[in-house]
Amino acid sequence: MVFSKYKDFVEDGDLVVAWIGRNKLLPLKIEDGQTFHNQYGAFPHSEMIGKRYGQQISSSAKQGFIYLLQPTPELWTLALPHRTQIVYTPDISIIFEKLRIVHGTRVIEAGTGSASMSHALSRTVGPSGKLYSYEYHASRYETALQEFRDHNMLDEINGNTHLTHRDVCKDGFETEGLPLKVDAIFLDLPAPWEAIPHLIKHVNRNGTTRVCCFSPCMEQIQRSASALQVSGWCDIEMLEVSYKQWTARKSRVIRVDDSIDRLKEVKRHRTEGFERRKERQRLEKEFAESAENGEELNDSQVSTPSEPPSKSPTSTEKIHKRIREGDEEYEWSNVARVDSNLKNHTSYLLFAVHLPSQLDNESESTE
Amino acid sequence: MVFSKYKDFVEDGDLVVAWIGRNKLLPLKIEDGQTFHNQYGAFPHSEMIGKRYGQQISSSAKQGFIYLLQPTPELWTLALPHRTQIVYTPDISIIFEKLRIVHGTRVIEAGTGSASMSHALSRTVGPSGKLYSYEYHASRYETALQEFRDHNMLDEINGNTHLTHRDVCKDGFETEGLPLKVDAIFLDLPAPWEAIPHLIKHVNRNGTTRVCCFSPCMEQIQRSASALQVSGWCDIEMLEVSYKQWTARKSRVIRVDDSIDRLKEVKRHRTEGFERRKERQRLEKEFAESAENGEELNDSQVSTPSEPPSKSPTSTEKIHKRIREGDEEYEWSNVARVDSNLKNHTSYLLFAVHLPSQLDNESESTE
Amino acid sequence: MLESSPIIQENSPVFIKLPSENIRFVTLKPNNTISLGKFGSFCTDDLFGKTYDETFEIYEPKKIRVLKTREVQSLEEENKTNKELMDCRSNQLMSQDEIEELRKQIKEGGLRGEEAIRQLTSKSLTFDQKTQYAQAKYVNRKGEKYLQQFRALRPCLETVTEYMLDHDQYKIMELTADCSTYMMTLGNAQPGGRYLVVDETGCLFLGSLLERLGGDCKVTLVHPNEQPNSSCLELWGKEYTEESLVEKGILRTLNWLQVIGPEEALKDMHVDDCTEEELNEMKLRHKKRYESRKASYARLQSSLEDFEKGNFDALFVLSNHTPMSVLNLLLPKIGSSRPVLVYSPYQQVLVDTHHELFKWSNPCEVTETNNEDITNDESSEKHELQDTQNAWVEKLIMLDIHEIRTRPYQVLPERTHPFMSIRGDMGYVLSGLKVLSSVCTVAAGRFPKRQKQGAGNKKKANTRV
Amino acid sequence: MLESSPIIQENSPVFIKLPSENIRFVTLKPNNTISLGKFGSFCTDDLFGKTYDETFEIYEPKKIRVLKTREVQSLEEENKTNKELMDCRSNQLMSQDEIEELRKQIKEGGLRGEEAIRQLTSKSLTFDQKTQYAQAKYVNRKGEKYLQQFRALRPCLETVTEYMLDHDQYKIMELTADCSTYMMTLGNAQPGGRYLVVDETGCLFLGSLLERLGGDCKVTLVHPNEQPNSSCLELWGKEYTEESLVEKGILRTLNWLQVIGPEEALKDMHVDDCTEEELNEMKLRHKKRYESRKASYARLQSSLEDFEKGNFDALFVLSNHTPMSVLNLLLPKIGSSRPVLVYSPYQQVLVDTHHELFKWSNPCEVTETNNEDITNDESSEKHELQDTQNAWVEKLIMLDIHEIRTRPYQVLPERTHPFMSIRGDMGYVLSGLKVLSSVCTVAAGRFPKRQKQGAGNKKKANTRV
């Protein structure tokens, strides 16, 4: 699987995730002869081949650079082409915790969507696990199929992922007549309650099966919760993932004393200005008097006092110049900022558990 | 009003909020002759009279102290006897922002409950504003009435608050046949939608009226939102107040080098111990041999090497002693902690606006 | 007192909210035409006498009428239903919020917007998204084109703050309305109060405080420049400008130099008295100047006297200066049992301040009255004072750092959820309460075992409370 | 590889969850009686062969049976309905959460509990609250008395972490399961990986990592003491103990002294070889000791060799030591394009670390392969190496501090709302990705105008990325 093992060097045909700038990642299929362009110049693929993963590549004109990163499901989530609203890494990681996604877990996922969840699932369940992914939408199915094939994830080519084109709400999850049993189920559907009745065929007979419904609206959650309870699921839990990302920044330390010094400086300027004004008035008066007396004064003499007063390098002007964050001439304190645009909500996460003892209930009720 | 103006000295008959300990406040009615007791001793009221507000008072036995604080609605909220779930200051402050509670605002509040909101409203709308508070529950009404009287809030004794014993859902808000019009309405009721139809009689004819429904459950909000829309309210907004309280703490700075030094120390001890063990073995052997030869060695000589090895004052033992947070012998960094028990939810806040133009709609529809 | 009417009048300040959600501020001069660009234009006179907050439709060039609530609602519903159409496929399609976000980025222009378009229109995009995007764009354009309407909002904490956050968030230290209202509430702001304020948010906070108190208060504003920056005040109308507030006796201003050196500041401002005779001989211009300088001096003198008297009802600090450098100078001026509030955009700044405030103490004298003493026993009172004067310090208790945010929801039938994205940066508030403490206190609520009250004379009483 | 069965077997580890919500940990030795105090007792043998996570009822002394899901549900519902009875009067009465909180405080004992009772029973309390409180108490007692049942939970990230947070939160650095799972996910933890871990949470994180990877990985654990503190590992069962993991080749351990002085560490551990003859003459006890010391030496040698080789797939740091002091020693050992994760209970600690990591760089040599070079052109490869060896540094990009929490809800018909109170303290995660960078980089994605690649040789390339 492309995504599963680390390697050291970039080879022809590799998929890399190119780091273009902060929060800007782009998938790049390395093909000798091709060239990647951005606003800083051209990056021929031929120069990428043989480089180390993680290495910086400069453009031909040496005006810009990119980093060649080896794809992981998390980098892919930041770089992938959006076909639908995607499931982001914070939600994925909490779902893994609650659904107990580990090495060897067998999972159903519907629908595939932009496949950010699929990549993470396939990676984590590993070669001894299995992912059954279902997509209703024809063109999204085709795109995902190609993507899974390119990423060597498909079970037909030694991967662990099985992709089915299916409306699971209508037709359920049965595949090729196999007695499909899974440990975990992830439903990212507009109406999960329509798919829930089909799940009972696929729960473990000898162990716990867990389900997660991922829905943006409260009302969807309420309907799914009822459907789960009716189907005999227990431990119904609902939660939201609250996630924030911070960046370290520096905030300028200015003390009141600094401002007092500046005020004193301003006052001194004004006083000097005032005295200069008085001096000028005196000179003007003298000039007028001397003019009356037929004398003349050199203009330059009059203008002399208007030269800028003496100044210390740490005074007024500095305040108004644009100061670079962290400039070592100044004192700074370490602070943190969140992004100005905060993700406030993705979806509600509804979890439930199915236990083998429930199956006894069912057989009883059929008796 | 007791709560509205600051004064400097504690007088007989005053209500004070006694600070007993972190997050422990208690209302105290000062009555000469009375005594307050806690686990640190007795605090006679007579010693409180004449003291400055904010001053520390020690117990008669000088073993403990309290601070005498002048009540504010916010301190009262922390000290008041709970008759119902109360509205806390963060929610109150956001409700004030959204309902535009300012000097002079006329407000309806139902129900009164523990009256934390009533005190804040009465304070902020001030002498030129007016608070109409309604309580359904008979004994809660009586208690609140007494409290408002004690706190000089009642309009009948120069205050700005009018308290009515009423089931507003059934009987509406009309009081003594007055044409009651208000700028803001706060509904803290189990079924606000039952009270909403009565509100239309009390909205301003020449200005905006704003309403807030305060409900813990999502379903209550959904029903109230529909009721408001049906009654012609617009700008329906819903929000939750997210509030956290942090305390500054110090976290110990330990570097890997410190641990390496400790490991070296341990190693040195062990090596010394090893050499001592070898020395002892040698001595034991000599002893055995000398015993064979009829000699005897002093026990004390044998035991000498088992004395503790030399040690530096900054080594092993220090690590295991309990270190006081902020101890100046050590390096610390400033950090922040939230309370271990975090308020995750109080209620949902639903807001809506009523405009005079809506009244035109109504007169039209009656035509 | 500051007047406030729910009716729009001549020279009223008003915030015009456009269908694009943009807000503009105007002062309504009589017989003036206000152009709203593509949304049309209207004559100010037509707004006079109307109530604030209503929605107005420009139904003919320069003709406006009030839209009745039901009309607004049905228009809004149509708009919402359109949005919902796209939203209800929910997580199986690009969300409304994502589209909104893209659209916002595009509007802002520049690289990020281009990137967003590139992302949307790249070959990897399937046909139905293109359709959806086109649809969203269409709805939006339609709204902007056909909804020739606006709301005339009244200035208030929420609206003014929203306007400033949109237009210049750094000028106001990113102060949210949520933080302002919380500070005022915790600060027990009430009509008739006397407050000490350091406000470097362009006086956005001060304006909110005056709005809440209806101007029924006395505020001393301490500022770091020759003149305070109070540019946000005018957003509440001309009654709120610094000049008007000073004239009404609501506001006094002092800069830091005046605070630390009151005598010198007065000396600098001093104007020699003129004799009646000299005054009579003066030119009108000079006389006016003389009088204004005399008035400035008198104002400064009275401001300084009032400041020196101290005993303020609360201290509000919203400053770019390190909080402790401000607090060291101003805490002694606050009355006992009164709150202190400090705002910062950064939690870390307040954590450091919190640690320093744990340790802060200021030796003080405590005068106590006693029912008998007050009237007739001055000597015994003096005796008691003598007894305790070295044993008391001012301190702060109940120190806490608060984070307060609101989390808005979409409330639509079958579509209830929190908004997908909101503004991220929001500040923090540090609060404390001033008390008078015996210097030998070491533990909350309890004296140290061997140090009874009055026994010690330590400067640092590091009680954590 | 570590086995994991959904079926409870002899010597299985199991977490017993009682109706009181308390959790206990037991290893199920055969034919043993486990007493659950007032909830009864059971024989371990009766659990063998059952599936984990089921609810068991003690229906007769020492007799257990599996409760079918529907039975559990109806019991739970009854309980919930009782609670709801009190909750539905909602904000007009003391809430369920408040009562729960009071009850919790009372249970904890001590002053706060007494205070709570005092508050509840004081004369200010009206009659109906007393009733309500009594009611809540009754329901609770009934539940504890009559529900003689328990759940047998399987060890997993969530359960083990919950258990540890309840029992000794400081020992595990207050690490939540949410932070652990997020670190593993961002760290791209996957079967077959090779990880460098500093874990001072009693190896709670390490256990979670091994659980997720099913033991299909190689982990080097760096620790600050002579022996690592790995007391949490046994909570996943005896296969997870340090000894067993080392034996299986899954775990290697090194202390800091061994990391900084590998030669000396080996020298200290060195054992002189014995001849065949000497061995034959040795007592069995001595021989065993000799062999074990030989094995220890070999293990250390191999651990150090593996460590020196570097190129680990990720670095996870959960340490009480200042993160930068750890990172300076370990970052060079991580492979390029691989993630670095640092946990701290405090955001401030990670903010400082973040700033230092902005500046962190480590000069390195970059070997590049080239499709032709790999096989036959060693000299030209060497030449290229020569060209660039002073021009490259290791750096970290994509540095971010993450806060991740879950917000649980009550989902009952007509009573949906977030839980009123939750655990407050939860840590933070710093993440970064290691790259190889030309030393003259100064701006994101762009070279400085006059410093083309290779032109400069500056040590500090302060690019923010």
Residues D19-33 pLDDT 10s? 888 999 999 999 999
Query: Which segment, B336-345, C437-446, D445-454, is predicted with the most confidence on average?
Result: B336-345
Q: Does C387 touch chain B (CB under 8 A)?
A: no
Write out pLDDT tens, residues A41-60.
899 999 999 999 999 999 88
Q: Specify the pLDDT at position C219.
A: 98
Sign of CA dihedral D430, D435, D439, D443: negative
Residues of chain B contacting D166 with CB distance shorter than 8 Å: none
Q: Specify the pLDDT at position D445.
A: 55
Q: How confident is the model at residue B270 (pLDDT cuts 50, 70, 90)?
A: confident
Mean pLDDT of chain B: 87
pLDDT exceeds cutoff 80 at C70 = no
Kindly give the pairing relationship between strand C55-60 and strand C63-67: antiparallel
pLDDT exceeds cutoff 60 at D83 = no
Q: How confident is the model at residue A311 (pLDDT cuts 50, 70, 90)?
A: very low
Q: Specify the pLDDT at position D20.
A: 83
pLDDT exceeds cutoff 50 at D130 = no
CB contact under 8 A, C69 and B232: yes
Q: Which residues pair with C438 in a beta bridge?
A: C392
Q: Specify the pLDDT at position C79.
A: 56
Q: Specify the pLDDT at position B321.
A: 60
Residue in this structure with the two tokens 């992981």, named with its chain if needed: A72
pLDDT exceeds cutoff 50 at D381 = no
Q: Specify the pLDDT at position D97.
A: 53
Q: Specify the pLDDT at position A362.
A: 62
Could you tell me what percent of chain B has a pLDDT over 90? 70
Residues of chain C contacting A339 with CB distance shorter than 8 Å: 424
Average pLDDT score over residue span A11-30 = 93
CB contact under 8 A, A50 and D370: yes
Which is nearest to D198 in space by CA: D174, D229, D233? D229
Average pLDDT score over residue span A279-289 = 69
Average pLDDT score over residue span A155-174 = 94
For chain B, where do the domains classified as CATH 3.10.330.20 start and end? 15-71
Residues of chain C contacting D347 with CB distance shorter than 8 Å: 347
Residues of chain D contacting C347 with CB distance shorter than 8 Å: 347
Q: How confident is the model at residue D446 (pLDDT cuts 50, 70, 90)?
A: low
pLDDT exceeds cutoff 90 at C202 = yes
Q: Which residue on chain B is closest to C194 by alpha carbon?
A: B6
Average pLDDT score over residue span B223-244 = 94
Domain spans of chain C?
159-356+397-426
Q: Which residue on chain B is closest to D90 by alpha carbon?
A: B190
Is B188 annotated as a binding-site member?
yes
DSSP C172: T
Q: Specify the pLDDT at position B44.
A: 95
pLDDT exceeds cutoff 80 at A262 = yes
**Out of D113-117, D167-171, D354-358, which region has the weakest mean confidence (pLDDT)?**
D113-117
Q: Which strand (E) or helix (H) includes residue C322?
A: none
Residues of chain C contacting D351 with CB distance shorter than 8 Å: 348
Contacting partners of chain B (3+ CB pairs under 8 A)? C, D
Q: Does D124 touch chain B (CB under 8 A)?
A: yes
Is B328 annotated as a binding-site member?
no
Q: Specify the pLDDT at position D68.
A: 83
In Å, how far is D373's CA from the nearest CA of chain B?
42
pLDDT exceeds cutoff 90 at D391 = no
Could you tell me what percent of chain B has a pLDDT over 70? 87
Contact C429, C339 (CB under 8 A): no
Q: Specify the pLDDT at position C278.
A: 86
Q: Which residue on chain C is closest to A348 by alpha carbon?
A: C417
Torsion of CA D280, D285, D289, D294, to 10 degrees: 20
CB contact under 8 A, B21 and C444: yes
Mean pLDDT of chain C: 81
Is B327 annotated as a binding-site member?
no
Q: How confident is the model at residue A308 (pLDDT cuts 50, 70, 90)?
A: very low
The token duo for D7 is 């079926």
CATH superfamily of C159-356+397-426: Vaccinia Virus protein VP39 (3.40.50.150)
Top pLDDT among A283 and A103 is at A103
Q: Specify the pLDDT at position A149.
A: 94
Q: Specify the pLDDT at position A3.
A: 67
Write out pLDDT tens, residues B111-127.
999 999 999 999 999 99
Contacting partners of chain A (3+ CB pairs under 8 A)? C, D
Q: Which residues pair with D396 in a beta bridge?
A: D434
CB contact under 8 A, C6 and B207: yes
| A76-243+345-366: CATH topology | Rossmann fold (3.40.50)
DSSP A111: -
CB contact under 8 A, B216 and D93: no
Q: Choose the closest CB to D418 out of B137, B255, B345.
A: B345
pLDDT exceeds cutoff 70 at B28 = yes
pLDDT exceeds cutoff 80 at C164 = yes
**Out of A175-184, C242-251, C393-402, D240-249, which region has the weakest mean confidence (pLDDT)?**
A175-184
Give the span between the Cα atoms of D204 and D171, in whole angstroms. Answer: 10
Q: Best mutation site among B11, B160, B357, B359 for testing chain C: the one with the most C CBs within 10 Å?
A: B357
Q: What number of C-beta contacts closer than 8 Å exist between C and D?
A: 4
Average pLDDT score over residue span B180-188 = 97
Q: Specify the pLDDT at position D90.
A: 37
pLDDT exceeds cutoff 70 at B148 = yes
Top pLDDT among C367 and D210 is at D210
Contact D256, B256 (CB under 8 A): yes
Contact D227, D246 (CB under 8 A): no
In Å, how far is D406's CA from the nearest CA of chain A?
5
Q: Specify the pLDDT at position B225.
A: 95
CB contact under 8 A, A263 and C226: yes
Query: Which segment, B44-58, B349-363, D67-81, is predicted with the most confidence on average?
Result: B44-58
Query: Which segment, A75-89, B280-294, B297-311, D149-163, is predicted with the most confidence on average?
Result: D149-163
Average pLDDT score over residue span B21-45 = 92
**Out of A308-322, C131-145, C274-288, which region has the weakest mean confidence (pLDDT)?**
A308-322
Residues of chain C contacting B19 with CB distance shorter than 8 Å: 397-398, 435, 465
Residues of chain A contacting C111 with CB distance shorter than 8 Å: 39
Q: Does C150 touch chain B (CB under 8 A)?
A: no
Q: Choose the closest CB to A266 out of C226, C416, C418.
A: C226
CB contact under 8 A, D351 and C348: yes
Q: Specify the pLDDT at position C80.
A: 55
User: A23: left (phi > 0), else alpha (psi -120 to 50), else beta?
Assistant: left
Q: Does D124 touch chain C (CB under 8 A)?
A: no
For chain A, where do the domains classified as CATH 3.40.50.150 start and end? 76-243+345-366
Q: What number of C-beta contacts closer than 8 Å exist between B and D?
A: 146
Q: Which strand (E) or helix (H) includes residue C66?
A: strand C63-67
Q: Which of residues 407-446 of D touch B (CB under 8 A)?
A: 407-408, 414-425
Q: Is A284 helix (H, G, I), strand (E, B) or coil?
A: helix
Residues 6+ away with beta carbon under 8 Å from D379:
none
Could you tell me what percent of chain D has a pLDDT over 70? 73
Average pLDDT score over residue span D140-145 = 49
Mean pLDDT of chain D: 81
- Binding site of A, by residue number, is 135, 167, 188
Average pLDDT score over residue span D106-116 = 42
In Å, how far is D325's CA from the nearest CA of chain B?
6
Length of chain B: 367
Q: How confident is the model at residue D133 (pLDDT cuts 50, 70, 90)?
A: very low
Q: Is C432 helix (H, G, I), strand (E, B) or coil?
A: strand
Write out pLDDT tens, residues B77-114.
999 988 888 999 999 999 999 999 999 999 999 999 99
Helix then strand then coil, % of chain D, to nearest 5 = 45, 25, 35
Top pLDDT among D77 and D311 is at D311
Query: Which segment, A78-87, B312-321, D442-451, is predicted with the most confidence on average?
Result: A78-87
pLDDT exceeds cutoff 90 at B279 = no
Alpha-carbon distances, residue A21 vs A66, A69, D362, D429 (angstroms): 8, 13, 21, 22
**Out of A270-279, B41-50, C93-102, C343-352, which region has the weakest mean confidence (pLDDT)?**
C93-102
Q: Is A68 helix (H, G, I), strand (E, B) or coil?
A: strand
Give the span between the Cα atoms of C115 and C94, in whole angstroms. Answer: 17
Q: Which residue on chain A is closest to C99 by alpha carbon?
A: A85
Q: Is the peptide bond before A111 cis (omega within 30 degrees of 0)?
A: yes
Residues of chain D contacting A222 with CB distance shorter than 8 Å: 411, 416
CB contact under 8 A, B250 and C355: yes
Give the span between the Cα atoms of C70 and B229, in whole angstroms. Answer: 10
Architecture per CATH, D159-253+310-366+387-438: 3-Layer(aba) Sandwich (3.40)
Give the span between the Cα atoms of C118 and C275, in whole angstroms. Answer: 78
CB contact under 8 A, D181 and A97: yes
Q: How confident is the model at residue D279 (pLDDT cuts 50, 70, 90)?
A: confident
pLDDT exceeds cutoff 80 at C117 = no
**Out of A278-282, C161-165, C241-245, D376-380, which region has the weakest mean confidence (pLDDT)?**
D376-380
CATH class label, B15-71? alpha beta
CB contact under 8 A, D54 and A238: no
Q: Specify the pLDDT at position D101.
A: 55
Contact A224, A213 (CB under 8 A): yes
Write out pLDDT tens, residues D223-269.
999 999 999 999 999 999 999 999 999 999 999 999 999 999 999 99
